[in-house]
Amino acid sequence: MHRSGTAMAWNVFKFCTALRGLGSIMILLVLGIVGVTYYALVLCNYGPALLAATGALDALVALAVLLLFHFLLVMLLWSYFSVVFTDPGGVPPNWRSDVDEERAETAPLSTTELSDTGSPRIRYCRKCNQLKPPRCHHCSVCGRCVLKMDHHCVWVVNCVGALNYKFFLLFLFYTFLETALVTLSLLPHFIAFFSDVEIPGTPGALATTFLTFVLNLAFTLSVLGFMIMHVSLVSGNTTTIEAYEKKTTPFWKYDLGRKRNFAQVFGNNKWYWFIPSYSEEDLRIIPALQGLDYPVRSDFDGQGF
């Protein structure tokens, strides 16, 4: 039994090491998919359609598709690289909790942290040899504790945590809009493949268009599922990890109501909701955006939601 457990731990370590090695490959894969999509939509179809348009309506449709595609592409890439290059949040050096350290616990997530009953407990990470702030978890891939960790995403080659969760959600949002636009724009060309109509273009361009439609349709459907899941998580002020761990707890003390839950991820300034950035005022007045100080439901009892 002991040897089997050792082998399992070793295999998990190899798996985490392999995930770290995917870094630049996954970024190149994302850029490759973007490049193929750009080639199929802009260079093979709607770019030439705009130049060859004989009617005002055809030119207007092609121009609208191209403008919207480029806008969404800029927002998608901005959000994507914001997730990739933004540190999700680490435990500050010499961080200490207000709770008496003599009562520190080594359990991964105690029941008292999930409920309003009992005395609060300090959690301790045996791998990092440091105290863990509330809602902080250890990532085996990154090899460190991450503030309000949601999950480790191989697509962004980074952990999704307190400081880049909003950027990740915007990446999903703009990816969905972009892939849906491409799917709808290339749908007539895809249908034409199965008709008797002669399709202009080289065999390579036609094959790229076909592949691009299938890829973007698949991403549209899969990203839609992720978006629905994360909208549910944000509305309840929880993370993917917490949603799993709190199943045994009927009360989630961090749920402050949808409006306050939303503000803890996106801030209060509406001008910043759709860009991967925060206003200085939001960073100052909403401590939860820094990943260390989270108000609990008892703080707002009697105030309404």
CA neighbor of 34 nearest in space, from 178, 227, 153: 178
As to burial, measured by CB atoms within 10 angstroms (0-12 exposed, 13-18 middle, 19+ buried), residue 286 is buried
Give the type of residue at 246: K
Buried b (16+ CB within 10 A) or exposed e, 259-283: ebbbbbbbbbeeebeeebebeeebe
CA neighbor of 212 nearest in space, from 30, 35, 29: 35
* 150 DSSP β-pair partners: none
Other CB atoms within 10 Å distance of the CB of residue 150: 24
- Asked if 91 and 133 touch (Cβ cutoff 8 Å), the reply is yes
CA Rg value for the chain: 24
Catalytic annotation, pick one of 136, 145, 153, 159: 153
- Catalytic site includes residue 153: yes
CA neighbor of 135 nearest in space, from 91, 83, 87: 91
- Report strand pairing: 144-146 vs 151-153: unpaired
- The H-assigned helical ranges of 39-164 are 47-51, 56-85, 111-114
CA neighbor of 111 nearest in space, from 261, 251, 297, 298: 251
DSSP state of 274: T
d(CA 131, CA 120): 14
**Residues tagged active-site:** 153
